[in-house]
Amino acid sequence: MTRVSALVASIAIALVMCAAVGAESTAPRPLDPDGSPAGADRHHYTINARVRPLLLFWISRSDVGDAVVTTRRAPGEARYSLLIGTDPQRTPMHINRWGYIEEEIRGADARLVGVMTESDEESIEQAQAGLRQQAAGHHPFKVIHATADGEEARARVASIRAPEDYTVRQMRTVLALAERDATAGHVRVARLAPGTRPGFLAALADAMRTPSAHAINYVYYGRLYELRLTHRRTIPDLQVAQRSYGPAIAADFVITSAHDGEQTKFSMTYGTRGRYAEVPLTVTYQPRWWMQIELTIDQASETAAADAEVSR
């Protein structure tokens, strides 16, 4: 499983725990990550979780987490970031699972930083054990620093101990802690073939920009992966929560690891014109047969952003 997939899977388990206990979320508070570069496009998403116990039926819960995607492109450079996680104030048992990935590309050079709550759970029981460890004062985070120059990628992963259980809203604090240990951890080195993208978010941006059946190769944490579009259909006018987002594409993707052949599948709809061109509008990911999460663009924040543009 890719590191991005592992991150989302661990968050999915936490979200499913929310659904399993039948909790209703309180009014969502939009995520507001600090440090978004000037001129960046920023989109907020709500997260819905579904669980299917014993192959019977799906149990759903809405607004149990948040995500923010930022994109900034200029001639010869680009920056992509994803912040995703639960909010302990809105979840039962104060579940805290989140992660942040940032990819910055300048010409042939690229830099990646990632930080996430350290959680390798494969089941609800393991997630509950992790919560007990957090309650006992254990607050580990996993940190990834990586660089690429078009020919070679170097990635370093380390674990750090935080003095408290920092949440998704304290992402910048955890990044500052991570910079203190930037030289710690294990290093992986990978040789890159021409055209290999320096991260998953960059590869996904390319897949939306030039949709085709051709695979896009990318590197992540010193491993090589292939992103392939397997199916697509055109939607003349996508409706999400009674709002129109214009023409869109509904696409299915598969990620294949060159290391062990493991595959990860997900689906996504994204706009093709205007403000929402190449912007994900919904994302569906099912890391286990019994769980599924869905990111949906937040209508309230998009309306506010559109109104702000009109008033300029």
Element (H, E) at 305: helix 299-311
pLDDT in tens, 87-119: 777 665 667 788 899 999 999 999 999 888 865
Instruction: Extract the tokens encoding 1.
Output: 């499983």
End-to-end CA distance of the chain: 44
Q: What is the DSSP string of 116-183?
A: EE----SSHHHHHHHHHHHHTT--EEEEEEEEE-SSEEEEEEEEEE-SS---GGGHHHHHHHHHHTTT
Residue positions counted in the chain: 312
Q: How much is the pLDDT for 3?
A: 54
Report phi then psi at 50, rounded to 5.
-135, 140
How sure is the predictor about 62, in pLDDT bands with cuts at 50, 70 and 90?
Answer: confident
Can you give the pLDDT at residue 131? 53
Widest distance between CA atoms in the chain: 53
Per domain, the residue ranges of the chain are 3-311
Q: Concatenate the DSSP letters of all residues of 220-262 into one string.
A: ETTEEEEEEEEEEEEESS-EETTEE--SEEEEEEEEEETTT--
pLDDT computed for residue 4 by the predictor: 60
pLDDT tens-digit readout, 1-23? 555 655 555 555 444 444 444 44
List the one residue out of 174, 182, 118, 115 whose CA is nearest residue 154: 182
Cα–Cα distance for residue pair 86/99, rounded to 1 Å: 10
Contact criterion met (CB below 8 Å) for 250 and 270: no
Q: What is the pLDDT of residue 289?
A: 72
What confidence score (pLDDT) does residue 18 get?
A: 45
Reported as a pLDDT band with limits 50, 70 and 90, residue 310 is: very low
CA distance 99 to 116: 4
Q: Directed axis angle between helix 3-20 and helix 124-135, to 10°?
A: 90
**pLDDT score at 311:** 44
Sequence-ordered list of residues with C-beta below 8 angstroms from that of 17, at least 6 positions apart, any chain? 92, 93, 95, 124, 127, 128
Question: Apex CA 305: angle with CA 100 and CA 47, to 5°?
Answer: 40
* C-alpha closest to that of 203 among 110, 304, 86: 110
Q: Report how far residue 47's alpha carbon sits from residue 283's, in angstroms, rounded to the nearest whole number.
A: 10
pLDDT in tens, 113-151: 988 886 555 544 555 555 555 555 557 888 889 999 989
Residue 129 CA to residue 293 CA, distance in Å, equals: 22
In DSSP terms, 116 is beta-bridged to 99, 142
Which band of pLDDT confidence, cut at 50, 70 and 90, is reported for residue 45?
Answer: very high
- Token duo for residue 130: 């992790």
User: Rounded distance, CA 65 to CA 58, Å?
Assistant: 18
Q: Percent of the chain beyond pLDDT 70?
A: 72
Give residue 40's pLDDT.
Answer: 82
Is 0.95 surpassed by the pTM of this model?
no
Nearest-angstrom CA–CA distance, 130 and 86: 15
Whose tokens are 């390319």? That residue is: 206
Q: State CA 300 to chain mean position distance.
A: 21
pLDDT of the residue at 206? 94
Backbone φ and ψ for 57, nearest 5 degrees, come out as -155, 165
Alpha-carbon distance 168 to 189, whole Å? 30
Q: pLDDT by residue (tens digit) across 159-180?
A: 888 888 888 888 899 888 888 7
